[in-house]
Amino acid sequence: MSEEHLVEPVVRLPGDRPAGQPCPSRPAEVREAVLRAVAERCLATRTPCDTEALSDALLVASELTTNAILHGGGVTGFEVDVDGPGVLLSVSDRSDALPVAVPPVDGEGRRRPGGHGWPIVCRLARDVQVSDLPTGGKRITALVSLV
């Protein structure tokens, strides 16, 4: 396997982290972990980083984290891998409920606040998967292209 296709987790799920290292659980912490992972990969492979693609990955990471906080009972796990031309982001939360897109207006025609996060994730990610966790809750994994 060539070096550009190795998968190296930069931030691991709770059971894989060294003792005392907290899981990123706020959007700013998650964005920092994504920036660090992409920068390390670009440096290691001596490839330029597409700033627009990186912005998409940061937005997806932020939206997944925010949704876990607002709708999923909080972030229980986070992982970021840079594999070849993409960033694989996984955010876990306590809720078994599947994410849904909410119409921008209610039944009476009034605009609703929010409701943009999940559609943003689905639009910017090349692949999105939702999986149940054995201990309850779910993990949402999104692959965002870096090219």
Residues 48-77: pLDDT tens digits? 888 999 999 999 999 999 999 999 999 999
Q: Across the chain, what does the average pLDDT equal?
A: 85
Please say whether the beta carbons of 8 and 78 come within 8 A.
no
Helix (H, G, I), strand (E, B) or coil at 67: helix
| Chain center to CA of 120 | 12
- At 20 the pLDDT is 55
Sign, CA torsion 54/60/63/67: negative
pLDDT at residue 9 is higher than 50: no
Q: pTM of the prediction? A: 0.81
Question: What residue type is assigned to position 31 of the chain?
Answer: R
pLDDT at residue 46 is higher than 90: no
Rounded CA-CA distance 91/67 in Å is: 10
